[in-house]
């Protein structure tokens, strides 16, 4: 029990110590910290996923707590977040390639392939032609499906006919299926099905910051408790998946308006700043995500206002406090941590003289970033 929680009742401690705890899927990590505070609620991704919530006051308590161990623990708190986003990566050999026109576009688990066998006019299993591990089969589409439109329709119909619960949370939003970003789109696939087919999914993520007396502050959002994924957890200001047929720039402007009420006069100054990537295996799902990162400097007086009901509220924190929340907790939706760590790198909040700098920098693109 003591090992399953991030914070427990041993506070206050004046010496750094290492605590290990487990996530739901058995992934375990270590975290070093020391907080001089009497606040002692227990939180972890495990409790979050079970619906236990936290308040802004609790976030603030952790953000501002002194940290004597900071120098000792170094970048470990950040590295843990990279590991969480890439959990069960070692299970990738279980998956077989999903191939179209000689390009690997995804990876599928044999357990999921079993469900696809019911649609022999849509999906074809073929013997290995040198892809993947020795002797593995690979999945492709039936040769009669040639045009993107035909493929989109046939696969879409099959997904609709799958037994309920096999692919939960259908969104009726299409993602492009391609080998790399900007390459030809072979067909379009329901967003919720993307990780079951192991296709790469792209998103746009934006940090919104304010310069107050020379000190940068980040706007942090708290997700609505009614969100189906990661309810009540923390987000950076704006994020969204990249559906088929919309550019990164158009999408980020749209999300700026919907998620944070940022008018085009401000959002139009958004700065593209790179990308992060990760790959995570969770049961039959193989997530291969690439997130395009954006920065937007907001006027000091601007207050974000959510328009689509997906964010409960926003708060502004000095960047070092956001860094503390990232390092010390799992309050952030996991992939948002990567985007904020990328911000910390680019804006000088992480020093190359800290142990593990290059390892962490590389870790931000652990997935196939193409």
- Rule CB under 8 A: is residue 290 a binding residue for a second copy? yes
Binding residue (CB under 8 A) for a second copy from 267, 274, 306, 310: 274
Binding-site residue total for a second copy (CB under 8 A)?
A: 33
Task: Report the site for a second copy in 235-264 (rule: CB under 8 A).
Answer: 247-249
Q: Is 130 in the site for a second copy (CB under 8 A)?
A: no
Rg of the chain in Å (alpha carbons):
22
Select 205 or 287, whichever has its Cβ closest to a second copy: 205
Name the residue nearer to a second copy (CB basis): 139 or 344: 344
> Minimum distance from CB of 356 to a second copy (Å)?
7
Q: Is 347 in the site for a second copy (CB under 8 A)?
A: yes
Q: Using CB under 8 A, which residues numbered 48 to 67 contact a second copy?
A: none
Span from 167-175, 223-231, 329-337, 347-355 in contact with a second copy (CB under 8 A): 347-355
Choice between 118 and 212, CB closer to a second copy? 212
Out of 27, 273, 302, 320, the only residue in the binding site for a second copy (CB under 8 A) is 273
Nearer to a second copy, 170 or 248 (CB): 248
Q: Which of residues 178-217 bind a second copy (CB under 8 A)?
A: 180-182
Per rule CB under 8 A, is residue 104 in the interface with a second copy? no
- Residue selected from 55, 147, 149, 359 as contacting a second copy according to rule CB under 8 A: 359
Nearer to a second copy, 171 or 249 (CB): 249
Does 299 interact with a second copy (rule: CB under 8 A)?
no
Report the 3 state secondary structure along the chain. CHHHCCCCCCCCCCCCEEEEEECCCCCEEEEEECECCCCCCCCCHHHHHCCCCCCHHHHHHHHHCCECCHHHHCCHHHHHHHHHHCCCHHHHHHCEEEEECCEEEEEECHHHHHHHCCCCCCEEEEECCCCCCCCCEEEEECCCCCCHHHHHHHHHHHHHHCCCCCCCCCCCCEEEECCCCCCCCCEEEEHHHHHHHCCEEEEEEEEEEEEECCEEEEEEEEECCCCCCCCCCEECCEEEECCCCCCHHHHHHHHHHHHHCCCHHHHCCCEEEEEEEEEEEECCEEEEEEEEEEEEECCCCCCCCCCCCCEEEEEEEEHHHHHHHHHHCCCECHHHHHHHHHHHHHCCCCCCCCCCHHHHHHHCECCCCC
Question: Which of 54, 197, 292, 332 touches a second copy by CB under 8 A?
Answer: 292
Quick check: 358 binds a second copy (CB under 8 A)? yes
Per CB under 8 A, residues contacting a second copy are 180-182, 247-249, 270-275, 290, 292, 295, 345-348, 350-353, 355-359, 361-362, 365, 369-370
């Amino acid at each position: 029990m003591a090992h399953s929680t991030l914070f427990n009742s041993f506070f206050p401690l004046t010496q750094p110590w290492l605590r290990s705890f487990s996530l739901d899927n058995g992934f375990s990590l270590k975290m070093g910290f020391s907080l001089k505070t009497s606040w002692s609620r227990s939180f972890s991704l495990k409790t979050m996923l079970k619906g236990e919530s936290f308040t802004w006051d609790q976030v603030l308590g952790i953000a501002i707590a002194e940290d004597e161990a900071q120098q000792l623990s170094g970048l470990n708190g950040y590295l843990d977040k990279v590991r969480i986003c890439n959990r069960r990566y070692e299970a990738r050999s279980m998956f077989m390639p999903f191939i179209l026109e000689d390009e690997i576009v995804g990876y599928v688990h044999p357990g999921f392939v079993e469900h696809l066998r019911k649609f022999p006019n849509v999906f074809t299993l073929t013997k290995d032609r040198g892809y993947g591990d020795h002797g593995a089969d690979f999945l492709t589409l039936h040769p009669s499906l040639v045009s993107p439109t035909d493929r989109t329709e046939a696969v879409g119909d099959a997904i609709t006919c799958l037994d309920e619960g096999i692919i939960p949370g259908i969104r009726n939003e299409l993602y492009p299926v391609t080998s790399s970003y900007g390459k030809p789109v072979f067909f379009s696939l329901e967003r919720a099905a993307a990780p079951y087919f192991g296709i790469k999914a792209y998103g746009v993520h934006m940090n919104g910051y304010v310069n107050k007396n020379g000190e940068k502050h980040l706007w942090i959002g708290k997700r609505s408790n009614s969100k189906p994924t990661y309810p009540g957890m923390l987000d950076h200001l704006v994020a969204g998946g990249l559906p088929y047929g919309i550019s990164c720039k158009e999408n980020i402007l749209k999300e700026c308006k919907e998620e944070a009420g940022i008018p085009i006069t401000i959002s139009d100054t958004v700065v593209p700043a790179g990308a992060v990537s990760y790959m995570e295996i969770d049961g039959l799902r193989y997530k291969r995500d690439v997130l395009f990162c954006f920065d937007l400097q907001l006027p000091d007086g601007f207050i974000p206002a959510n328009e689509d009901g997906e964010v409960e509220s926003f708060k502004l924190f000095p960047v070092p406090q956001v860094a503390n929340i990232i390092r010390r907790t799992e309050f952030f939706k996991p992939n948002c941590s990567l985007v904020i760590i990328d911000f910390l790198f680019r804006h000088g909040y992480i020093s190359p003289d800290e142990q593990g700098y290059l390892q962490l920098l590389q870790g931000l693109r652990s997935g196939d970033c193409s």
